[in-house]
Chain A
Amino acid sequence: MAENPETDDTIETTKQNQSEEEVEHSDEQKQEDELRSLLLSDIGDLPLSPPSATQVNFVSYFITDFTKPGHDQYIYRHANGLCVIGLAPTHIAFKDEGGITNIDFNVGKSDRSVLKVSGKRKKNAMRSESNTALCKVSTAKDSYIVRCCVKGSLLEVNERLIKQPQLLNSSADREGYIAIIMPTRPADWTKNKESLITLEEYKAKKEVSL
């Protein structure tokens, strides 16, 4: 029985390569399986409705009847000090039929929507006091001035509202935010805080469930 040793060898080596590949493949498979088990093991009980990113990362404050009755606004303060300003659900603008139809950032001395803040040091940001006018929202009936409520630098205003003012009606507490302000000094914020109320106090005051 003449067996050709060369072909035998090649058959052997290809078999070896194949099994090597298989081993490699199963190694990879093993790694992937390990990864999957890690990924899934961490999923504990899943609540029906988890807290939103805003609720987790921000502390909510409110100010009611600011300079005029019914002018209620929220201030969401992030752990890094930045404050997101917007209309609270009980703002009288929402009571008008048809809701808010227009927003205009051109109030006071300049158009807030054209400011261009640049760089880490936030150059060219407009300095605001708590009663500096931020914008004007209009409904079919009337128009209302929205103010900064926080002393600091105005970093940005929500330009999307200009084209989509209905965001204020649908989600004033998220996509309908109005501006982001950075308090310049910790002392300024501590002083500001005195005139603000917490979420609990707000709920109690307005007897609204949010």
Chain B
Amino acid sequence: MSDESKPASGDSSGLLNGLLTGGAQKPQRVNEAARSLHPNAVKDLLSLGVCERCILRLITVTTFDSDLATVSSSTLRGWLGSGFEEAASPEPSICIVCLGVLQFVFYDAKQTLVKMKSDCGSDHAAWITDLVKQQGHEFDSFGLEVSLPSTISENERAVFIYLFFFFFGLNVDVCTIGVGYTLKESIATKLGCRVKKVSVKDALKVLVLDPLRASLVRAKSDSSSFHIRLTYSKASDDAQGVSETTHERKKRKTDEENGSSCISENPFEKVYEPCILSVHCNQMPIFFSGRYFKYSRNVSQSRWIIDDERMGEASVEEIIGGSILPACLGDSYKFHAAGREDIDVRMLGSGRPFLIEVQNSRKCPSQQSLTEIEEKINNSEKKLVGVKDLKFIGSECWAMMREGEAEKQKQYAALVWISRPLEEKDCNSISSMIELKILQNTPIRVLHRRSPLERERTIHWMKVEKIKGNAHYFLLHLCTQAGTYIKEFVHGDLGRTTPSMGSILGCRAEIIQLDVTDVKMGDS
């Protein structure tokens, strides 16, 4: 059913051919859009090389949404009148404003030209879907991001300026239009319509989002940890279309202020090349938590390389992260631990809490596979590292790490040598020291990278365990405040830590080896 009503502007124009069927609302809105068009302006823009979607997007009353998206180019030309249809070139050129983005013309990653049917967004969505599936992610919702060349907004502005001078003449003074009127508003009053601008990004999303959702996901959801990014970039560096250089832009701004007008001299260059479109998928990082044990005195906590040489045999970070990363099919991982220990200190007891952060994982391993990974690490030939309670954890992971940080207490067992034989009274005097306050100057071994400060720390309790048959050695069990340097507490660090084991016992003391036996967190 074709509706033959004349446009409100009164100019002679064609019929509303090819009216689409659909809900009652649809034709009405499309009617409104058609009526609001100013045929001469539209013809001018078409001959300049602006595509139909951009015209509909920029200068119609109704917002460019899915209804208007389905208006094809032939329909639009039909609205304008019979004389104009012949002028349409068989091969539509690339739009000077959107550079082909809304016409679904672009270069793919291999620089091959791709042209989609532009009636609706489904073909384009199908092309994107293929690329997304190739990247192998598992997801049940996604967010769509679009990145466009900055010249597109410059092109739009240039078109508005062109329209401005089209309607108001070449020599008009900007100031006569009215104080406070923006460019768009001025044109709007002339056109008799509300010029509500819909950006190219939003228009593209309108065209493509629903078909994408239909083909990719079952659930409909917007906010997501998985993003699909469409990046359009310029094919070459030459200025194309109506974009200006910065110099020209500054000149134009000052000219406008001065009231002169010279922009219309600028010809609108043809666009020969569309943009390159690349599709990239990214998943937000996922986290795994657990506790690790370090059984070797030659394994550092994180990767430690000096002058291309690795220090130590391996690292806890690489052993654990390197096992989890392949299971997630991720790009990379980061290791975070609640505190650290030296390379020659073992981590025993209940283990130290840690987090593994995996970037851009393609799939999330099941608890079953996590348990298998845990067993594999624990049963490996060289028992260097152990893992416990490995599991997937959500955004509460950071709270877990911070938990009880200030109140964290650590328990150690140190093998101590003293220069005189141990006596019973020594054991008693040591065990009786509860909440001993010590002052530690920054140890010399870290003084090169830490501030020289005097830090007060507390030794909560100590216990001596004698070693059979040897009066010069004993095992010292102690529980201290977080941040205490144990080695310096034993040997005194040239007197910079007081009191020290040596000063308490009145002799020389050395630490032979150290083990961490407990890291107390908020939970058990």
Contact = CB atoms under 8 A, between A and B. Distances in A.
Interface residues of B, number: 36
Contacts of B508: 52
B501 to A, nearest CB: 12
Contact of A175 (B450, B492, B510): B492
B157 interface: no
Interface in A13-34: none
Interface string A133-160: 0000000000000000000000110101
Nearest to A86: B494
B445 A80 contact: yes
B452 A156 contact: yes
A48 B417 CA distance: 9
Interface string B410-422: 0001010101000
Interface string B448-483: 111110000000000000010010110100000000
A20 to B, nearest CB: 17
B75 to A, nearest CB: 69
A78 interface: yes
Contacts of B419: 49
Contact of A78 (B349, B413, B444, B473): B444
A119 interface: yes
A42 B491 contact: no
A177 B510 CA distance: 18
B444 A167 contact: no
A167 to B, nearest CB: 7
Given A43-B415, A52-B510, A120 B445 contact: no
Interface string B200-218: 0000000000000000000
B447 interface: yes
Contact of A43 (B445, B467, B487): B467
B348 interface: yes
B216 to A, nearest CB: 49
Contacts of A80: 445-449
Interface stretch (B164-172, B425-433, B511-519): B511-519
A81 B447 CA distance: 10
Interface string B382-416: 00000000000000000000000000000001010
Given A167-B495, A174-B494, A182 B445 contact: no
A209 to B, nearest CB: 18
A201 to B, nearest CB: 24
Contact of B513 (A42, A53, A167, A174): A42
A199 interface: no
Contacts of B444: 78, 82, 84, 180
A46 interface: yes
A78 B472 CA distance: 27
Interface string A108-152: 000000000111101000000000000000000000000000000
Interface in A37-73: 38-40, 42-43, 46, 48-54, 57
A52 B511 CA distance: 9
B452 A53 contact: no
Nearest to B515: A39
A35 B494 contact: no
Given A46-B473, A52-B510, A82 B494 contact: no
Contacts of A48: 472
Contact of B487 (A53, A84, A158, A174): A53
A155 B496 CA distance: 14
A120 B451 contact: yes
B495 A120 contact: no
B448 A182 contact: yes
Contact of A155 (B415, B452, B511, B512): B452
Given A39-B413, A160-B495, A174-B492, 15 more contacts: A35-B348, A38-B348, A39-B517, A42-B513, A46-B512, A50-B512, A52-B510, A80-B447, A82-B444, A84-B444, A118-B452, A155-B452, A156-B452, A174-B494, A180-B444
12 contacts: A40-B475, A42-B515, A43-B415, A46-B472, A80-B447, A84-B444, A120-B449, A120-B450, A155-B447, A167-B495, A175-B494, A175-B495
Interface of B: 295, 346, 348-349, 413, 415, 417, 419, 441, 444-452, 467, 470, 472-473, 475, 487, 491-495, 508, 510-513, 515, 517
